Amino acid sequence: MKNIKVLGSGCKNCETTANLIRIAAEQAGAEIDLEKITDMAEIMGYGVMSTPGVVVDGKVVHAGGLPGPDLVRQWIAE
């Protein structure tokens, strides 16, 4: 099971990113543990300065702006 964290304040882009990940996992039949991290100190601990950020299994894979659907599917498939 993949651990995926969406880093952000809870803004619309952060919520949309979390929903994109949830939908991609459902479509792929993949089980994920999806967390939303809103604590700015924890977000900055990952080195993310612009949100939303995405962390997959402890590795930052995206920061700033909405990720494209193909990129989200790639995170789920890896």
Rounded distance, CA 44 to CA 25, Å? Answer: 26
Residue found by looking up tokens 């402890």 in the block:
58
**pLDDT of amino acid 73:** 95
Catalytic residue among 6, 14, 20, 24: 14
Helix (H) and strand (E) counts in the chain: 3, 4
Helices (H), 1-78: 12-28, 40-45, 69-77
Catalytic residue among 3, 10, 11, 12: 11
**pLDDT of amino acid 58:** 96
The CATH number of whichever domain residue 7 belongs to comes to 3.40.30.10
Where does the pLDDT of residue 8 fall: very low under 50, low under 70, confident under 90, or very high at 90 and above?
A: very high
Is 14 catalytic? The answer is yes
**pLDDT of amino acid 39:** 96
Number of domains forming the structure of the chain: 1
Is 44 catalytic? The answer is no
Where does the pLDDT of residue 78 fall: very low under 50, low under 70, confident under 90, or very high at 90 and above?
A: confident
Per-residue pLDDT reduced to its tens digit, 22-43: 999 999 999 999 999 999 999 9
List the domain range (segments joined by +) for residue 39: 2-77
Rounded distance, CA 20 to CA 72, Å? Answer: 7
CB-based contact 59:3 (threshold 8 Å): no
